[in-house]
Amino acid sequence: MVVALMLCGIVLAGCGKEDDMELQERAEARAAKARGFVDDLAARVGTAPEVVQDEMGDCVPGREDSGIDLSYTVRVAVDDGAADRLRGEISDHFAAEGWEVKVDPVDPENQVVSVRFAKDTFTMGAKISESDGRASVGGSGGCVK
């Protein structure tokens, strides 16, 4: 009886680790896809990409059982006209690929242009400040449970 209970405990503990490994593998696969989408958007928006954030974390901060989510951000250099391209041809490209596109109002004080994209579990966005010559492009693959 004691041996049977110990075996059950070992099996259950092992299953937990396999479940954790499977969750991590699924999260990494989705994160890789999300990074690809963000990198594609960043390349269309500007040049000289610099990854400033690439973190896998809890979907709900501090709750490990909430799932795993990616937070990925790239900064790029932009030229004059990047904001117009983002609102026009870049948004049109992603809309044609099945992405839902939301063009935010221009921030008149800071002259910042922002566009958000969503498709399935993936979300991403680009925020351009032409006066600074920089853009921030980031996204996520959504919570993997």
> What's the pTM?
0.85
Interval 103-132: pLDDT, tens = 999 888 888 999 999 999 999 999 999 889
pLDDT tens string 66-113: 999 999 999 999 999 999 999 999 999 999 999 999 999 988 888 899
Query: What is the reported pLDDT for 110?
Result: 81
Q: Which two tokens stand for residue 43?
A: 């390349």
Please give the pLDDT value at position 36: 98
CATH for the 2-140 domain, from 3.20.20.70, 3.30.1330.60, 3.30.2420.10, 3.30.2030.30: 3.30.2030.30
Residue with token string 């901060």: 61
